[in-house]
């Protein structure tokens, strides 16, 4: 999540060069950079569970699954934006820049107290502008709770709380994610 904006304008080229050298990650919105905070253990476990589940299914395709260290590049209303989604599935063979992707078919964000508003509002608005995107999945790290936004449903959010739920993700030829698999090995309701 972003915490502190830098007060001067930075070009895309300078941002990308700086990210290669920086020990911290930064998101970039129209010339401004925002430092990212670290993730909790629970957040990391959910992301790891998703990576394993989605990677095993996407092996039969040309799709790639990325977790949090690969940037997403957007251009909205003439503004350059770089986010670090928690997870992305990217299938376009022409989308192969060295440090970012621009055409994901699936994006996943895992909520924390500091990111919830941005993930549910700002990033939802930004992500649905991506022509290649088919689904945006938002997961709570505090409870077994998922919101799935799909292009085919006009981006209306569908909520899942039953661990037996099967999430159908229209990406990579069709991915299926048992909700329980995302939360495997995680004690919810504890710190």
pLDDT per residue as tens digits for the range 48-65: 999 999 998 888 788 999
pTM of structure: 0.91
Specify whether the CB–CB gap between 43 and 110 falls below 8 A: yes
What is the residue extent of each domain of the chain? 39-70+84-182
Q: Please calculate the CA angle 112-182-160 and round it to the nearest 5 degrees.
A: 80
3-state secondary structure of 182: helix
Answer yes or no: is pLDDT of 72 > 90: yes
Q: Rounded mean pLDDT of 163-171?
A: 94
The average confidence (pLDDT) of the chain is: 92
pLDDT, tens digit (0-9, with 9 covering 90-100), for 8-30: 789 999 999 999 999 899 999 99
Phi, psi values for residue 146, rounded to 5°? -130, 145
Residue 31, Cβ density class (10 Å: 0-12 exposed, 13-18 middle, ≥19 buried)? middle
CA 180 to chain centre: 19
pLDDT at 191: 61
pLDDT at 4: 46
The whole-angstrom separation of Cα 157 and Cα 136 is 9
Locate 121 and state its tokens.
Answer: 């509002």
Pairing of strands 135-139, 146-150: antiparallel
pLDDT at 190: 64
Answer yes or no: is pLDDT of 141 > 70: yes
Q: Rounded mean pLDDT of 150-171?
A: 96
What sign for the dihedral angle of Cα 75, 76, 78, 79?
negative
Pairing of strands 104-110, 135-139: parallel
Specify whether the CB–CB gap between 49 and 185 falls below 8 A: yes
Query: In CATH, what number does 39-70+84-182 get?
Result: 3.90.1570.10
Tell me the pLDDT band of 3, cut-offs 50, 70 and 90: very low
Answer yes or no: is pLDDT of 139 > 90: yes
DSSP sequence for 100-129: EES-EEEEEEE--TTTHHIIIIIHHHHHTT
3-state secondary structure of 152: helix
Q: How many CB atoms lie within 10 A of CB 161?
A: 11
Answer yes or no: is pLDDT of 143 > 70: yes
């Amino acid at each position: 999540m972003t915490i502190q904006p830098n007060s001067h304008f930075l070009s895309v080229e300078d941002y990308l060069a700086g990210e290669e050298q920086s020990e911290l990650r930064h998101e970039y919105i129209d010339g401004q950079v925002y430092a990212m905070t670290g993730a909790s253990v629970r957040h990391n476990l959910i992301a790891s569970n998703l990576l394993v589940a989605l990677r095993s299914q996407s092996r039969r395709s040309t799709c790639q699954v990325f977790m949090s260290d690969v940037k997403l590049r957007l251009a909205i209303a003439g503004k350059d934006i770089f986010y670090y989604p928690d997870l992305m599935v990217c299938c376009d063979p022409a989308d192969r820049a060295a440090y970012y992707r621009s055409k994901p078919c699936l994006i996943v964000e895992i909520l924390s107290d500091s990111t919830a508003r941005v993930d549910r509002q700002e990033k939802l608005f930004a992500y649905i502008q991506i022509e290649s995107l088919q689904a945006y999945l938002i997961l709570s790290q505090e409870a077994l709770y998922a919101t799935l936004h799909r292009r085919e449903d006009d981006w209306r959010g569908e909520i899942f709380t039953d661990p037996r739920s099967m999430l159908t993700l229209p990406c990579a030829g069709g991915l299926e994610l048992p909700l329980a698999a995302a939360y495997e090995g995680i004690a919810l309701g504890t710190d």
